[in-house]
Structure 1
Amino acid sequence: MRVLSFFKVLSLGLLSTAIVPTSTADEAPATYLQCIACHDDNGQGNTALSSPAIAGLSESYITRQLNNYASGKRGQHPEDVSGQQMVMISKQLDLNKDVPALAYYIANLPQVKAVSKLSGDLKNGSRYYHAKCGACHGGQAQGNKSFNAPKLAGQHSSYLSKQMRNFSSDVRGTHADDKLGRQMAMMAKTVNEKELKDILFFISQQ
């Protein structure tokens, strides 16, 4: 029986040393128990806590974000309360053993598409998305490992909205060594509220 889950993310970096995880997709590593309270028992997240769905995210994305939290590249801004919580958790993990096992397990959890109550202009959302997001995140928001871009489809719209605002207000993506985060911050600043609403609606339909 699968053990429960918790994490906060969602933007990558692989460990330099290849490590074969000891857990399987049906066997959660012991450290996964820390993830239960916020990310739900199957990694589907919790909108009440602004916790993202993590099930099915790529190993590389999970690895990069945990490393970013642990190294201070993410979660340092005083307004990023969720990020600060993740910093504390990530610093308790062994980056060479715990992180690969967690990333492998989470990546193999089945993703369940988040229920969305959003409304918006699908046509405009598609146009804005493909103009500003699709090149990195894929035409259907499926993500693109070549660009280290995570999957957005199936994610809670409230989480995506919060992260876009974090990027645009310099709460996230300001660290000098977070190249991908800085790229996202720059792009987020080009999206206005109406465009964001339609983009999120488009993503929710994928």
Structure 2
Amino acid sequence: MLGTSLKRYSWLIFLVGIAASVYTQADEALYQQRCAACHGASGEGNEAMKAPSIAAMSQAYLERQLRHFRDGQRGTHTEDTAGQTMRAIALPLTDKMIATVSAYLSGLPEPVVITEKEFAGFRGRGLYSGCASCHGAGGEGYPDLGAPKLTQQYGWYLRAQIENFRKGLRGTHKEDERGQQMRLMAEGIHSDADVDTLIKHITGLGVK
């Protein structure tokens, strides 16, 4: 009797394992079909396509941004060409597809896209102090606050987003509360030199 129960239990585990494997393959297939051409096979990003690294980001953040692109809270400004491209890609996505691809990406390992640290000194640390309360002292991000991780993210992408917030290309939609908060923070950076210094500090976070 015990032997029969163990066999049934082992068979159940086997079936669950197969189902999980198929589900993972389906997730990966959706990502490869919809996203990989720009963001890379492993979510590592591609500067030539203006596509940031998105692997290992929180599922909640990825879902929110995809919905924002789809629903017109982001990527609608005529000067935001990269955002407009993402909006066109996100428009046909269902809520289920968004949840599936976001869950897949959040489970991927963090890619190493930055290997050398540029030192931004005391000025860099001072500028980042206004960011740390949401994004974490080490740039690890706080999903509960809707703040993504900043580690292993390209400097060119971070700079582009700060400029988008400063210029009002992003964070102006009335339903994008977190974007509005970021816009206020970005508007507090008063010079391009300070933007460069801040980017140097951020891209050095987590780099040994």
- Give the TM-score band, short-chain normalised: 0.7 to 0.9
5 Å-filtered alignment, 1:79-90, equals: 79-90=79-90
5 Å-filtered alignment, 1:138-149, equals: 138-149=136-147
- Determine the C-alpha separation between the residues in 1 that align with 2:29 and 2:37: 16
Match of 2:181 among 180, 183, 187: 183
- Determine the C-alpha separation between the residues in 1 that align with 2:51 and 2:113: 12
Alignment deviations for residues 126-162 of structure 1 (CA, whole Å, 9 cap, x no partner): 12101x2111100111101121100011100100000
5 Å-filtered alignment, 1:23-102, equals: 23-24=23-24, 28-95=28-95, 97-102=96-101
Identity %, equivalent residues: 33
Alignment deviations for residues 44-74 of structure 1 (CA, whole Å, 9 cap, x no partner): 0011222100000100001000110111000
Unpaired runs of 5+ in structure 1?
Answer: 1-21
The alpha-carbon distance between structure 1 residues 160 and 177, as it changes in their structure 2 partners (threshold 3 A), is: same
- Determine the C-alpha separation between the residues in 1 that align with 2:117 and 2:107: 28
- Determine the C-alpha separation between the residues in 1 that align with 2:163 and 2:116: 19
Structure 1 runs of 4+ with >6 Å offset: none
Report the AA paired with residue 173 of structure 1: G
CA contact (8 A) 2:114 2:153 kept: no
The alpha-carbon distance between structure 1 residues 125 and 61, as it changes in their structure 2 partners (threshold 3 A), is: same
- Determine the C-alpha separation between the residues in 1 that align with 2:138 and 2:26: 28
- Determine the C-alpha separation between the residues in 2 that align with 1:112 and 1:26: 22
Larger radius of gyration: 2
Q: Give the match for residue 169 of structure 2.
A: 171
Alignment deviations for residues 21-58 of structure 1 (CA, whole Å, 9 cap, x no partner): x7338951435412121101110001122210000010
User: Which segment is superposed worse, 39-48 or 29-38?
Assistant: 29-38
The alpha-carbon distance between structure 1 residues 67 and 158, as it changes in their structure 2 partners (threshold 3 A), is: same
Alignment deviations for residues 64-109 of structure 1 (CA, whole Å, 9 cap, x no partner): 00110111000000011111111111111111x1111101100011
Q: Give the match for residue 16 of structure 1.
A: none
- Determine the C-alpha separation between the residues in 1 that align with 2:25 and 2:198: 32
The alpha-carbon distance between structure 1 residues 157 and 104, as it changes in their structure 2 partners (threshold 3 A), is: same
Shift of 1:205: 1.4
Q: Give the match for residue 111 of structure 1.
A: 110
Report the AA paired with residue 148 of structure 1: G
Unpaired runs of 5+ in structure 2?
Answer: 1-21
Shift of 1:203: 1.3
CA contact (8 A) 1:168 1:185 kept: yes
- Determine the C-alpha separation between the residues in 1 that align with 2:25 and 2:56: 11
5 Å-filtered alignment, 1:10-25, equals: 23-24=23-24
CA contact (8 A) 1:25 1:108 kept: no
**Number of equivalenced pairs:** 184
Q: Give the match for residue 13 of structure 1.
A: none
Q: Give the match for residue 202 of structure 1.
A: 201
CA contact (8 A) 1:44 1:55 kept: yes
Query: Per residue, is there more helix in 1 or in 2?
Result: 2
